[in-house]
Amino acid sequence: MSKSVSEPLPHSLALPVHELRVTGMDCAGCAVAIEAALTRLDGVRQVQVDVMRGTVRVAGDKGVGKTDLTRAIRGAGYGVQATEVESNTPTGRTVAAVLSGVSLAIGLVLGWLDSPVPSTPFHTISLLVGGWYVVPRGIRSVRAKTLDINFLMTIAAIGAAIIGEWAEAASAMFLFAVAQLLEGFAMGRARRAIGALMKLAPREAVVVRDGKESLVPVTDVAVGEIIVTRPGERVPLDGTVSEGRSALDQSPITGESMPVEKEPGSEVFAGSINGHGALHISVTHHAEDTTLARILHAVEEAQASRAPAQTFVDRFARIYTPAVVGLAFLVAIGPPLLADAAWLTWTYRALALLVIACPCALVISTPVTIVSSLTGAARDGVLIKGGGQLEAAGTITAVVFDKTGTITEGRPAVTDIIGIGGITSEEVLRLAAAVERLSEHPVARAVVAEAHKRGIVPPATADFEAIPGQGARATVEGRVLYMGNVRVCESLGNCHDGAHSAIDGLEARGRTAVLLTTDDVALGVLGIADATREGAPEAIASLREAGVRRVLMLTGDNERVASEVAGAVGMDDVHAGLLPLEKQEVVAALRRSGERVAVVGDGVNDAPALAAADVGIAMGGAGTHVALETADIVLMGDDLGQVPATIQRSRRALRLIKQNITFSLLIKAVFLALAVVGQATLWMAVAADTGASLVVIGNGLRALRRSTT
């Protein structure tokens, strides 16, 4: 089994796994050093280093314990923290940087004043204190055969001191110590954003046992037990409401901006914030299996995965750093040997070039952007499975939507009400709801729901009877009324021209026609259709604004209904009457034509098409654990606007990555040239390297911002 820092530990690995929180780990070079130290231990089988979270997970034989791992990490020059609690007390690095700066300042002042008190001792103190954490790591990096920035700084500082440039050596070491602090603070911001996700769910829950309420750890709550969530509290576990009504803020899970009303039978998610009412919730999932837990697990795996750009940068850095170290060696000995140039001058230039050589900014330019984007998306209710999927979403040129349950609500709704013979639409709906209110048919529920929405109260009914294959019958206000399809009307013999005209008009627009009739005369016709999801036209328009060239819809529904829906939301094209494998072929054909395709569906029924796409996007994943496992990107809520927002976020991440890589390489090229011609001093080289790292970190952190469409 290979040992790697780049991939998450597999769940099937039947080995003990230890997780340790590491301090002082701020860049990819740190990860390499820690990995090298751990993989040398007997019994260690696999290592996963997460720089952004500041953690190390190690899988090994039973004989490998935390004590051995801690000793190895500390031997590499890093600390191990027992808990995640951040301390506000000054760290050793802070103290060392301050003392180094004070000593340097004294030495520089003495030199400027031409004081009889020598400045060299103060520069020496500044150098030693500033390098207190740097030099040991540099030595360890040589043992681990990894030329990191600590080694390069150690060689440069010692070399400068040997040739008598004590002020330069001290200045460079002090600036580097400050740089390490600043990088740690900058990385801490991204870590805090990730940590905020981890703290969404409470660690304890109020459980009703034997008629009494008890506060217990969420890990001790069994499926089926009743927990109580009071106003303002977070829901600790997934479940269904058994008692009470309230509005829950589900934005941490689904990204929905408005609270969602909950009543008995409603599904609730761990991490949601309760509103005004107390809820009794029947637990449906253990703590480790909640929707939130699955999201966090997926986010952790996404952070550990590497995007193509990051893999390229890592490969480039492995070649680039040794090459530039070799160049520095040639700069130091070439001119003196070939042109009888001054050894001190060219040695100094080589030392400056060594400091510039470390590709810290380049190596960190990609992961900080990717992790920030993944974390920001998760905070908005969008789960992106990894850096590769994030990059792929940023290149999408065509988006294919499923119809039912994606573009539409997936349930019937009343779209038209037509009165016949002078009867008003309100009266038709009032009587229709009266007939249907005792029926469990989906169409009947749609009619009753429409009446409720309009504030219409149906009258009392009697003698309700379902008519198989046709509809229903009931006595309303002394009259026998029928609700059903055209066969009801034809069997009664009262389908006159007005009724047929209304039916034909509705069916021509893809509606299902339901008639309200008495024994003698048709009273009205209701049009029923799968309602278009709110915000669908705006989402399609936003996709085009985001640069998507083609937007299509695939459905197994008939051509007439599909065309009506596609026209209403502004699709470019529609393919109707398709079986799942035929949908897959349409997607494959789009890809063969050169399009980069995203498929948006429910994550289950559209599995073949999702698998055939460059990016599979599942909607409404908060209630579908299967979607969390199958799709590349999961929209936890049902908001179609998250599709263009996610593509825009991915495109922005790609732009930031390109900006960071370009800036890092440009700075390196400029200062390498300056170092060779003697225009870059040692402290300028440190400032340039540090400044570049801070700039790319700050730029990458912009990916945390919320996307707008």
Decide: 130 and 180 in contact? Cβ < 8 Å. Answer: no
Classify 586 in phi/psi space as left (phi over 0), alpha (psi -120 to 50) or beta: alpha
Res 540: pLDDT: 94
- Which residues touch 173 (CB under 8 Å, ≥6 apart)? 100, 126, 127, 130, 131, 134, 153, 157
**Which DSSP symbol is given to 557?**
S
- Which residues touch 556 (CB under 8 Å, ≥6 apart)? 404, 576, 577, 578, 579
Res 108: pLDDT: 82
Decide: 415 and 528 in contact? Cβ < 8 Å. Answer: yes
For the stretch 642-675, pLDDT in tens is 999 999 999 999 999 889 888 888 887 887 788 7
Going by C-alpha positions, the residue among 549, 542, 572 that lies closest to residue 649 is 542
Res 86: pLDDT: 44
Ranges of residues in the chain whose predicted pLDDT is under 70: 1-16, 24, 26-29, 51-53, 82-91, 144-149, 163, 179-180, 182-200, 251-258, 294-318, 320-321, 355-364, 469, 497, 602-607, 621-630, 682-683, 686, 706-709
Going by C-alpha positions, the residue among 633, 54, 606 that lies closest to residue 380 is 633
- Which residues touch 605 (CB under 8 Å, ≥6 apart)? 402, 580
Q: Where are the domains of the chain?
A: 17-81, 92-194+301-370+654-704, 204-289, 409-532
Sheet hosting strand 79-81, strand order edge to edge = 44-50, 55-60, 17-23, 79-81
CA 707 vs. chain centroid, Å, equals 12
d(CA 402, CA 393): 18
Res 7: pLDDT: 47
Going by C-alpha positions, the residue among 555, 558, 470 that lies closest to residue 507 is 558
HEC readout, 347-387:
HHHHHHHHHHHCCHHHHHHHHHHHHHHHHHHHHCCEEECCH
Decide: 443 and 413 in contact? Cβ < 8 Å. Answer: no
d(CA 367, CA 359): 14
CATH assignment of 204-289, given 2.70.150.10, 3.40.47.10, 1.20.1250.20, 2.130.10.10? 2.70.150.10
Token representation of residue 164? 């008598």
Task: Classify residue 135 as exposed, middle or buried by CB count within 10 Å of its CB (0-12, 13-18, 19+).
Answer: buried
CATH assignment of 17-81, given 3.40.190.80, 3.20.20.70, 3.30.43.10, 3.30.70.100? 3.30.70.100
**Angle, in degrees to the nearest 10, between helices 291-304 and 360-379:** 160
d(CA 508, CA 523): 21
d(CA 360, CA 324): 14
- Which residues touch 372 (CB under 8 Å, ≥6 apart)? 190, 193, 700, 701, 702, 703, 704
Res 647: pLDDT: 93
d(CA 273, CA 153): 50
For the stretch 152-162, pLDDT in tens is 777 777 777 77
Res 51: pLDDT: 66
Res 188: pLDDT: 60
Sheet hosting strand 279-283, strand order edge to edge = 212-217, 204-209, 226-229, 279-283, 239-243, 267-268
Amino acid at 621: G
Amino acid at 644: P
Amino acid at 146: T
Res 432: pLDDT: 94
Res 433: pLDDT: 94
Decide: 335 and 346 in contact? Cβ < 8 Å. Answer: yes
Res 207: pLDDT: 94
Q: Which of 314, 402, 632, 639 is catalytic?
A: 402
- Which residues touch 62 (CB under 8 Å, ≥6 apart)? 16
CATH assignment of 409-532, given 3.40.1110.10, 3.40.50.300, 3.20.10.10, 3.90.78.10? 3.40.1110.10
Percentages helix, strand, coil for the chain (3-state, rounded to 5) are: 50, 20, 30
**Coil, helix or strand for 282?**
strand
Decide: 24 and 79 in contact? Cβ < 8 Å. Answer: yes
For the stretch 176-208, pLDDT in tens is 777 667 666 655 655 565 555 556 678 889 999
Please give the helix or strand (H or E) that residue 402 lies within, else none. strand 398-402
Where would I find the H helices in 222-359?
251-254, 291-304, 308-339, 343-357
CA distances to 10, 301, 378, 570 from 294, in Å: 15, 11, 12, 35
Decide: 672 and 567 in contact? Cβ < 8 Å. Answer: no
**Which DSSP symbol is given to 424?**
-
Decide: 218 and 227 in contact? Cβ < 8 Å. Answer: no
- How many residues would you count in the chain? 709
CA distances to 255, 550, 623 from 267, in Å: 16, 36, 8
Going by C-alpha positions, the residue among 544, 587, 709 that lies closest to residue 642 is 709
Token representation of residue 685? 């080289």
pTM above 0.85, yes or no: no
d(CA 454, CA 138): 74
> Is 572 a catalytic site residue?
no
